[in-house]
Structures are given as structure tokens and as C-alpha cells.
Amino acid sequence: MKLLLDTHVFLWLNDDPERLSKTVRELCSSGENEFYLSMASPWEMQIKCQLEKLTLAMPVEELVNKNVQENNFKILAIELAHISHLAKLPPHHKDPFDRIIIAQAMLEGLTIVTADHAFAAYTVPVVW
């Protein structure tokens, strides 16, 4: 399965894995899934760090690169098609970072891993 992690799932996977659901922990340990991180997530993390709403053990770039190298995460760039697809999304979710993740998952055929119930309002596969 191709899994696109919501930002909080990426953070919990690295710093607080007990917060992940049993299903998500099993998906992470099975060795059968591909993990994607939207470029929106490091962007969101960097903003929150600068606003002092998030504290990380290492710089955002280092954390992301570590997961790319050690856990074979794939970084999903934000393309113009993803941005254009935002116009087709109903306004169920107001968070711009979550909206771009939803658009990316729809266009790229990915399943979103999130604890955010607002994602269920969209026609995109979600697992928690």
C-alpha cells in the first residue's frame, strides 16, 4: 500500500510512536508498504518551530533526511496539478496543509494515514 503520512503521524512515528493506532503500527512494521511525506509537512513543521508551537529534537531538514535514508520515505513534491486540484475540494477542512495532502493523495492514488476525522469527509482512502 502507498501511504501518505499526515504531519502529526510523521512526528508521532519519530518521537511518540505509542500515540499511533495499532493498525498504523502494524502498517509501519510490516515491511510491505511505501511511505510518502508531502513537502507540505516539513513546511508546516518549520513554520510551527519558528512560531514556537513545535519543538523537535533535530532540525526539520535533518529529521526528514533521516527518514528518507533510514526508513526509505519518499518525499512527495507539491506540483501545480496538486494546487489546481484544491479548487475541486469542498471546504470541509480549512487547514491549507491538510488540504494539499488530500489533493495529493487523490491525484497520486495514495492512502492518507491520519487521526484527523475531517479527512473522512473527502473521497480519499484514509487509515488510522
CA 62 to chain centre: 17
Q: What is the pTM of this model?
A: 0.93
User: What 8-state DSSP symbol labels residue 89?
Assistant: S
Distance, CA of 1 to CA of 69 (rounded, Å): 20
pLDDT confidence of 93, banded at 50, 70, 90? Answer: confident
Show me where the domains of the chain are located. Answer: 2-127
Distance, CA of 102 to CA of 85 (rounded, Å): 9
All cell numbers assigned to 95: 487547514
In a 13 Å sphere around the CA of 21, the CA atoms on its Cβ side amount to 10
65-83: per-residue pLDDT in tens? 999 999 999 999 999 999 9
What's the CATH class of domain 2-127?
alpha beta
